[in-house]
């Protein structure tokens, strides 16, 4: 399973940095996307669905004070590690396993830990990988709710509406009222207030050691449960052992023989459909490079080569006319996922990077399956 990770709150002048971590497992939640592209109402509805349906989820919090003390880069590492450590505790409790971690962005915040080898960093993963989208959503909703609660604690700053960002009205209030304990005094526009705030230690040398304090004032009720947040990420933490293949198969198998036979028959027909598509491509002059090429977060049905072009083909099997055109399932989002899959294949197989790329969709129907249509995708 995939553990998706994303952060919220890097840019605000006030408030915590929050990292979400989600294992969806088998949950299929419609509408997951980058939290920034969703309305508040939609985010909150998805947040409820994620918390109810995901196999595991957690949040890692870093306070403004901690961020000031260690800097943004270390704060991101700390928040990520807090979230992941809690996820691992859940995995042990629930006998879950994740074997791949995807972090949105360009930095592996687990690089110097035992988990670093399992991490893939990916730009815009929050719009491509469902578990990362889910992490983005729960982190955004939790942080927004926290800042809304602080609006009554520190009236006048508009935290409920600005979430701590340095918008014009917020800046004007700071000039008039000064800063609160939520403000990040290490940020350049606020550094002039540092001398007037005693609890902060901005003039001390920043320690390379992660702080051993929990996010003071940050609500455990917004985190999944009252379990204490681990302060220092253990270097010897390793992924929870995966359930054996045989055990997993036993868990997933239906209880009755007729249903099992039906599942096997459907799978066999799907395989025959892909074989029909592969045969069609070979007849058209393609050399088959890979079949069912997979990572934990993407799959390509067929990779083939013809002339100086590398083709990535999605095969859609239509059982009968009642389900419409099989190619109708190739949505814009699916095409983005296909392009991402193709880029991942090239990255892992650099011997093909000089070739042009083309995405194809092949519709197969009938029993025995036969190719109905082949379409080149943009």
- Per-residue pLDDT 10s for the chain (378 aa) are 999 999 999 999 999 999 999 999 989 999 999 999 999 999 999 999 999 999 999 999 999 989 999 999 999 999 999 999 999 999 999 999 998 999 999 999 999 899 999 999 999 999 999 999 999 999 999 999 999 999 988 999 999 999 999 999 999 999 999 999 999 999 999 998 887 654 433 333 333 223 333 333 333 322 232 222 222 233 333 333 333 333 332 223 233 334 433 443 455 666 788 888 998 998 889 999 999 887 655 678 999 999 999 999 998 876 544 434 455 556 777 787 788 788 878 878 888 888 999 999 898 887 777 888 888 887
Strand partners, 312: 303, 359
Q: Give the pLDDT score at 255.
A: 35
Q: Give the pLDDT score at 18.
A: 96
Give the dihedral sign, CA 36/328/311/319.
positive
CA distance 323 to 329: 10
Spatial CA neighbour of 239 closest among 91, 80, 38, 131: 91
Domains 2-246 and 253-377 fall in the same CATH topology: no
> Helix or strand or coil: residue 194?
helix
User: Percentage helix, strand, coil, to 5, in the chain?
Assistant: 45, 20, 35
Q: Give the pLDDT score at 319.
A: 54
Cα atoms found within 13 Å of the Cα of residue 93, Cβ hemisphere only: 10
Q: Give the pLDDT score at 299.
A: 79
Under CATH, domain 2-246 is a member of which superfamily? Ribonuclease H-like superfamily/Ribonuclease H (3.30.420.10)
Contact of 18 with 59, CB cutoff 8 Å: yes
Q: Give the pLDDT score at 197.
A: 57
Contact of 88 with 235, CB cutoff 8 Å: no
Annotated domain spans of the chain: 2-246, 253-377
CA distance 14 to 182: 5
∠ CA 253-96-213, rounded to 5°: 165
The CATH number of 253-377, from 3.40.50.920, 3.30.390.10, 3.40.1350.10, 3.40.50.1400, is: 3.40.1350.10
Spatial CA neighbour of 352 closest among 360, 362, 342, 361: 342
């Amino acid at each position: 399973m995939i553990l998706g990770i994303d952060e919220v709150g890097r840019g605000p002048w006030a408030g915590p940095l929050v990292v979400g971590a989600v294992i969806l497992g088998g949950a299929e939640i419609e509408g997951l996307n980058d939290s920034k592209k969703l309305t508040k109402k939609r985010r909150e509805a998805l947040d409820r669905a994620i918390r109810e349906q995901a196999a595991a989820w957690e949040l890692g919090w870093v306070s403004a004070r901690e961020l000031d003390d260690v800097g943004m880069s270390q704060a991101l590492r700390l928040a990520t590690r807090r979230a992941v450590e809690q996820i691992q505790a859940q995995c042990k409790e629930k006998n879950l396993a994740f074997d791949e971690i995807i972090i949105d962005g360009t930095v592996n915040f687990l690089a110097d830990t035992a988990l670093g080898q399992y991490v893939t960093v990916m730009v815009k993963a929050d719009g491509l990988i469902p578990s990362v989208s889910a992490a983005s959503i729960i982190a955004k909703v939790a942080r927004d709710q926290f800042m809304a609660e602080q609006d009554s604690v520190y009236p006048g700053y508009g935290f409920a509406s600005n979430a701590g960002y340095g918008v014009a009205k917020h800046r004007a209030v700071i000039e008039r009222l000064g800063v609160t304990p939520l403000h990040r005094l290490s940020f350049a526009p606020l550094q002039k207030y540092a001398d007037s705030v005693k609890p902060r230690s901005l003039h001390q040398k920043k320690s390379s050691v992660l702080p051993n304090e929990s996010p003071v004032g940050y609500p455990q009720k917004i985190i999944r449960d009252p379990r204490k947040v681990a302060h220092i990420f253990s270097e010897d933490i390793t992924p929870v052992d995966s359930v054996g293949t045989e055990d997993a198969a036993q868990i997933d198998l239906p209880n009755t023989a007729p249903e099992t036979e039906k599942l096997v028959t459907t799978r066999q027909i799907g395989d025959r459909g892909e074989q029909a598509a592969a045969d069609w491509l070979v007849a058209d002059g393609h050399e088959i490079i890979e079949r069912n090429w997979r990572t934990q977060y993407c799959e390509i049905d067929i990779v083939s080569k013809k002339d100086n072009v590398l083709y990535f083909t999605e095969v859609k099997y239509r059982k009968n006319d009642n389900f419409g055109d099989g190619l109708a399932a190739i949505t814009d989002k699916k095409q983005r996922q296909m392009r991402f899959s193709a880029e991942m294949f090239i990255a892992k197989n650099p011997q093909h990077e000089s070739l042009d790329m083309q995405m194809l969709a092949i519709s197969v129907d009938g029993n025995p399956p036969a190719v109905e249509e082949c379409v080149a995708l943009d």
